[in-house]
Structure 1
Amino acid sequence: MLKPCACEPFAPTHAEIEELALLVLGPDMQAAHTYMQRVKRRGLSLHVLFTELLEPAARHLGRMWDEDRCDFLDVTLGVARLQELLAVFNDTHSIPAMGDMRRVVTLTAPGEQHRFGLAVVEKFMRAAGWHVRSEAGASLETVIKAVHAEWFAVAGISLSCDSRLDVIEDTIKAIRQHSCNPSITIMVGGAAFKDAPHHAKTVGADGAADSAATAVLLAQKLLDQSLTRRAYSVA
């Protein structure tokens, strides 16, 4: 007699990813909420919803911008709405002062010369409602003073060359050690991580973003996780 198998829920298809991207560009945000509810009812975890639907949808919006199929205002609005969907389904959207907690410090690794990509990330973050303090090109001592004096939920670090991973690892350790927010989370990006996201774990970061659009969602995900951990520790 054949035993019934527990099949994995179907992951979102490419067509469904594109459909969500178009919904968050449209005038009816409730349609996007309803769509997410329908997909979630398949039994997908929030992690899968993030990695297989929300993040790819943000990446698709970024490609639409690159291909001049939508303008900067459209794509940043769409990414901001994806961020809100993530907060809703992580159940952090109703936390008082959520907007005030969206604070990120961005920096380049010491000695890093490539800053254009980080500048684009900063524009996307601001458009999505984040308070951004840019320390691009600043010394590690300056960054340490900044995170010690001011509360940030997330630090975002850009690196273009994977031969300097040891430098960014030391930077991350220093930020965690001196931050006035003991729960600060770290995301990394840049060419060093684009095709090798596993390097994020190597350097001690909490995650890697491969584009400006996905950086917004990753920052929200890290903030949500931090808030969830805090809630459990207080309970």
Structure 2
Amino acid sequence: MSTDDQTDPRGVMRNRPDSVDVLASTVISVLRDRQAVSCEGLRQFVLDQISSRVLSKKHFAPDVVLAELRGYRLSVDAIIDLYVPAAARMLGEQWVDDKISFADVTIGTMRLQALLADASGASCVDHKVGAVRLNALVVIPQNEQHFLGASVVAAQLRRLGCEVAMSYDEDHGALTARLINDVPDLVLVTCGRLETLPSVANTIQVVRKAVGNDPTLAVGGACQVNKQRVMEITGADIVTSVAEEAVAHCLKYVNSPSTS
């Protein structure tokens, strides 16, 4: 009895419809795109999705976008620490390349801020029983536009168990009053541009004058090229954009017997 075997010796189906090949190619292409990584080692497909969501003309629901990102097997910490900052840089690059308008950047940044807030609410606090609970203040000085980056650092500090307050664009009088009312253990001043280092130095002088040398003073942001030089200019105790490093430096003095 003859059989109508549609498979050749290599196991490939003969007379297969062209649509099957097209579908297979599409699936392979999509999978390849999803595996592609950015220059920062992040999944480019996810970054493109975030960019698309925050630039969309449709209603933006941060909780829905967060759930979508979690569906890509991303941890909340990775979203906060890696993907939100990378998406913000993508917006800036697209604006510089004249692909989007300044209004688009502004709206996109505000949406990333909302996404960050939702992610921060879902993040787990790492605070061991009996551990020192630091009081931290993140300062965005006047004329700085580094609010999103400062919010990322604030979220990281909260995850480390710190109580965090934020000072945004306060004049020196308001900042002094805040510090006198509630002296923090750690003050982290953001610096988005090297050109604003003198302003950051003035802010640190205001902090020193208000509360002395008690708080650990950290400077973070885009001023990481020559850390020693930045410390000399600003009078900071440490220059870092890593929340864990700032907290560790602060704890050395909080836990020191000489401070008791």
If the length of structure 2 is used for normalisation, what is the TM-score?
A: 0.50
Within 5 Å, give how 1:198-213 maps onto structure 2: 198=228, 199-210=230-241
Residue 225 (1) aligns with residue 252 (2): yes
Match of 2:224 in 1: 194
> Residue 132 of structure 2 aligns with which residue?
98
From 167, 191, 194, give the equivalent of 1:162. Answer: 194
Asked whether 1:132 is paired with 2:164, we answer yes
CA–CA distance in structure 2, aligned partners of residues 108 and 121 of structure 1: 11
Asked if 2 retains the 8 angstrom alpha-carbon contact of 1:110 and 1:140, the reply is no
CA–CA distance in 2 between the matches of 1:200 and 1:79?
A: 32
What SS is found at the alignment partner of 2:180? helix
> What amino acid sits opposite 1:219 in the alignment?
A
Instruction: Note closer, same or farther for the CA distance 1:161–1:72 as it changes in structure 2 (3 Å cut).
Output: same
1:146 aligns to 2:183 (yes or no): no
Specify the structure having the higher radius of gyration (Cα). Answer: 2
> What is the number of equivalent residue pairs in this alignment?
152
Q: 1:173-188 counterparts in 2 under 5 A?
A: 173-179=205-211, 182-188=213-219
Are the aligned partners of 2:140 and 2:168 in contact in 1 as well (CA < 8 Å)? yes
Task: Give the stretch that moved more between structures: 181-190 or 68-77.
Answer: 68-77
2:76 maps to amino acid: F
User: How big is the alpha-carbon RMSD for the aligned residues of Structure 1 and Structure 2?
Assistant: 3.1
- Give the TM-score normalised by the residue count of structure 1: 0.55
Q: Which has the higher contact order (CA 8 A, sep 6+)?
A: 1
Q: Identity rate of aligned residues, in percent? A: 16
Decide whether aligned partners of structure 1 residues 144 and 124 sit closer, same or farther in structure 2, where only a CA change above 3 A counts: same
Moved more, 154-163 or 136-145: 136-145
Ranges in structure 2 where 5+ consecutive residues have no aligned partner: 1-39, 47-72, 82-121
Q: CA deviation at 1:184?
A: 0.7
Unaligned runs of at least 5 residues, structure 1: 1-62, 85-92
Letter in 2 for 1:106: V
Cα–Cα, structure 1 residues 97 and 165, in superposed 2: closer, same or farther, change >3 Å?
same
| Alignment-mate amino acid for residue 72 of structure 1 | V
